[in-house]
Structure 1
Amino acid sequence: MSYWMNDVMGASIDEPNETQIREIVSSLQTLADDEHPDVSLEHESGWGLSIYVDGTLLWENVEDSSIPPREITLDSWDEVIEVLLKLSRGDIDAVNQLDWQE
């Protein structure tokens, strides 16, 4: 399965490992600004997560506009990392099970 992340400045990293994912999320906390407010992980299935500095995640399928984007704000950065790792493994069902809000 293929996935990639975009860092806070928009650079794309193909199939980052857990350490790289943690570094990208950490950079969000120090480098985010009005022009660069998020990082994202996109899976080849079309599902993607955007992560914002306040811990809000935006979950959407960019290939299926009939599925509305959903949001959740998590309590810790460790929870954010766990969700990103699930998506990186292609575990779409596990990510969908979160308490998303439309």
Structure 2
Amino acid sequence: MYWVNHLTGDSDVEYPLEQLSALYAELSQADAEHTDVSLTHESEWCLSAFASGLLMWENVAGEGEPRHMPEVAQQTVIELWSLLASGSIEEIHQRDWLPGYGR
């Protein structure tokens, strides 16, 4: 199981993967209060995308250290969200992440 968090703070469980580009498109409306959209797997691993291109990879239950990638293309974000939705956590871990939260 997985869920997405929209820019407005609303969430959807098992959001259709073919609509992930629409989720990403919400970032065009980002502001100081509403900054990111994300997909979270039931394992508590989460990928949050920001309008700046920043992509955050963290376990929201506090396991492990947060990681990030700057300036990630939309296609890559959607690919990684799809992997996370299917539970391919180790495959995501293998990517070239930088330590910490980034900016």
Same fold (TM over 0.5): yes
State the match for 1:24 in structure 2: 23
Kindly state the Cα deviation for residue 99 of structure 1 after the two structures are TM-superposed: 0.6
Change (3 A) 1:66 1:79: closer
State the match for 1:77 in structure 2: 74
**Which stretches in structure 2 are left out of the alignment for 5+ residues?**
none
**Which stretches in structure 1 are left out of the alignment for 5+ residues?**
none
State the match for 1:93 in structure 2: 90
Alignment of 1:5-24 (within 5 A): 5-24=4-23
Which letter maps to 2:50? Y
Partner of 1:78: helix, strand, or coil?
Answer: helix
Quote the Cα distance in structure 2 between the aligned partners of 1:86 and 1:66: 19
Q: Deviations over 1:57-90 (max 9, x none)?
A: 1111122x35111101244211110011000110
Residues 55, 80 of structure 1: 8 Å contact kept: no
Q: For this pair of structures, how many residues does the alignment match?
A: 99
Q: TM-score, normalised by structure 2?
A: 0.89
Q: Percent identity?
A: 39
State the match for 1:36 in structure 2: 34
The list of structure 1 runs, each at least 4 consecutive aligned residues, that deviate by more than 6 angstroms after superposition, is none
Q: TM-score, normalised by structure 1?
A: 0.90
Change (3 A) 1:8 1:99: same
Quote the Cα distance in structure 2 between the aligned partners of 1:78 and 1:51: 12
